[in-house]
Structure 1
Amino acid sequence: MSVPAAAGETAGDGDGGAPPDSAEAPAARALLYGEPLLDLPQDLYIPPEALEVFLEAFQGPLDLLLYLIRRQNFNILDIPLAEVTRQYLGYVEQIRRSNLELAADYLVMAAMLIEIKSRLLLPARPSEPGAEPEDPRAELVRRLLEYERIKLGALQLDELPLRGRDFLVAQVHIEQAVAERFPDVSADELRAAWADIVRRARLTQHHRISREQLSVREHMTLVLRRLQGRRFVEFHELFEIERGVPVLVVTFVALLELARERLLEITQAEAFAPIYVRLSWQPA
């Protein structure tokens, strides 16, 4: 900005020299819609909380309580509630001054700590003989241990490599088409493949099994015919061994059925003596 010359003085030298130096243009304070803003508006209002910085070091009441216990190396199974509650209330008082809504959850935990401490001061309730007295801190300890396990698990998961954060997936695009090339096959390989197919075909052959129709009633009639007119017959003489096991089984079942119906008698003089079979209506 040029300064006007005093009365009776010339603005330049005798030869009409250069004009006076102009002042340097002020720097822009900000950009508003792409245009430089040289001066701040006089009616600009900045709320006090807009310049406040919050450092959220804890994720909740349990996180704060676990921090106080671990920082002082307290035994989590034997928490000194008086000292921990005093430190906890001091932190809650600090956050209550700045954010009452944030302090609400912490106040609930503080009330729980005070309740547990008061229950410890009262006489223990009588329990059953042989049972240990109930510890008011047990539920709080269980929640702290469970929260600590979940927190450590979350930290371990966070340390695992994450796509997009720790590594990127490489992508390669090949426009040139590659002609498919089949492998060469020799005559020996074809012969070995054919031999393998024949071997597997022999392993999967089907076998047809037919069974002989045998009737227990028919063999009962045959046994009665063999005993007809004979006083005694040895047990083994009633079986036709040459006809196979199925016929032997059916003959034995026929003998048992005849004995059940009291049509024949099976006798033995003594142990390990021969077994005899006879018709029950024949005289001894």
Structure 2
Amino acid sequence: MSTGLDASLADGPAPADGPALIDQVAIARLYGEPLFQLPHDLYIPPDALEVFLEAFEGPLDLLLYLIRRQNFNILDIPMAEVTRQYLGYVEQIRARNLELAAEYLLMAAMLIEIKSRMLLPPQPSADGAEPEDPRAELVRRLLEYERMKVAARELDALPQLGRDFWRAQVWVERATAQRWPEVCVDDLRAAWADIVRRARLVQRHTITREALSVRETMSHVLRALHGRRFVEFHELFDPARGVAVAVVTFIAVLELAKEHLIELTQAEAYAPIYVRLAYASA
């Protein structure tokens, strides 16, 4: 039984479409506008919405997945069940990608061949040993592949430069003052030997008695260096005065260097040795 209100609603004008679309959910948006129905001329390719739940790297990967998924003992593989599941997956591949299925068909043929050998009675060997299990070679390949796969996964989990971290690089500019090479003992000894050799070449056979003073010679060396930036080491010695004077002069140079009144420097290794006052500017 209908009331008058129902009749008036039935006979009255239909409501507008706007309020009715409020409760609908848009299936997409085209240029910002909601789309509530698919266009009649919309073409969707057959493989556009194809989803692959599992991606395998090869036949061994697929076979190992089937065995591990059902907790089969890899040393006692039920060939009939595994082969059936494997062939079912291969049929799906053949329907989509024939070139990819060729690699998997080779393993399928191997599974069928192993299953057929298991159905036949074992052939006795000539030496009477127990015949080998037809699945032994397949099990060996699966175990080796699984070890390599686990090792590859562990290596991939290690931190890698450029993927997980970056090498820190800091440029530090240091301004250092120029340092002259230090004069080693061997260089000083070689220079002294050269002074002695030259002094002996010009020595005279004159017997004289000369009082030599190290302090006086030190003063003479300081006066020779005064007002000059660098003086070569051999210029401090006068070979004409003999070896005795050269020895006293050398001792005076060593005393001055010990008291930090003079400095012995050289530009580079095996270069001439220079002497200068310690307080002179470089």
TM-score bracket for this pair, using the shorter chain length: 0.3 to 0.5
Q: State TM-score, norm by structure 1.
A: 0.45
Q: TM-score, normalised by structure 2?
A: 0.46
Q: Which has the higher contact order (CA 8 A, sep 6+)?
A: 2
